[in-house]
Homo-oligomer: A and B are copies of this chain.
């Protein structure tokens, strides 16, 4: 990564900060939905988007009819966060109860991707590998209605919590079961169907 900049330095629980770019890639590649934060009329918003990583860029898309996507397309400052929840950490105390997670945050501003089709294909292949070859590619009209945005992986942070519950002297006399409830996202069997 580039030099860690001040605003992506992890202050809370700094031992959880991971500076390895390959680990960042791994988290982004494992997620399906990101939350993109931006400021509109002075108020912050966080909206969910499907996305994919392409080398050192995160790609996502929206409608040209969306004011919020147009704002992002104009280069408004944004923050894209991907959080993977991996488990619940059950400690002896309420204070030490926590979560296992991998949390990536990318700060910056988006640019508009002019070469839309390869980018849309990258997003499609991330979500549903192999699907792109089977489906009708976007028409000129559909592309005209689509904004594809790219956010570079320049200023980012990654926080990983993968440990076990901590115990302190204060916990003497308290002995509930301690450990981790793993949490996973699973894809169930495909259900065929179509809107009529």
Which A residues have a C-beta under 8 Å from some C-beta of B? 7, 11-12, 32-33, 35-48, 50, 62-63, 65-67, 77-81, 83, 85, 88, 90-95, 97, 99, 101, 103, 105, 107, 120-121, 124, 127-128, 131-132, 134-139, 142, 146, 163-167, 170-171, 174, 176-195
3 pairs of A and B residues whose beta carbons are closest in the complex: A37-B46, A134-B176, A37-B37
In the complex, the answer to whether A178 meets B192 with C-beta atoms within 8 Å is yes
Closest to A50 in B: B99
Copies in the complex: 2
Contact A37/B79 with A66-B12, A194-B167 known, Cβ cut-off 8 Å = yes
A170 to B137 CA separation, bound complex (whole angstroms): 10
State the CA gap A130–B78 with chains docked (Å).
39
B188 with A81: CB separation less than 8 A: no
29 A-B pairs in the complex with CB atoms less than 8 angstroms apart: A7-B41, A12-B62, A32-B183, A37-B44, A37-B45, A42-B77, A45-B79, A46-B79, A47-B103, A47-B105, A50-B99, A88-B127, A91-B135, A94-B135, A95-B138, A95-B139, A128-B181, A135-B176, A136-B170, A164-B195, A165-B194, A165-B195, A178-B193, A179-B190, A180-B193, A181-B187, A183-B185, A184-B188, A185-B185
A6–B193 CA distance with the chains assembled, in angstroms: 36
Within 8 Å by CB of A174, from B65, B91, B128, B136, lies B136
Contacts of A63 in B (CB 8 A): 12
Tell me how far the C-beta of A191 lies from the nearest C-beta in chain B, rounded to whole angstroms. 5
Contact of A128 among B97, B138, B163 (CB under 8 A): B97
The answer to whether B190 touches A105, judged by C-beta atoms less than 8 angstroms apart, is: no
CB atoms of A81 and B180 under 8 A apart: no
Complex Cα gap A65–B10 (Å): 12
Partner of A194, one of B7, B47, B77, B179: B179
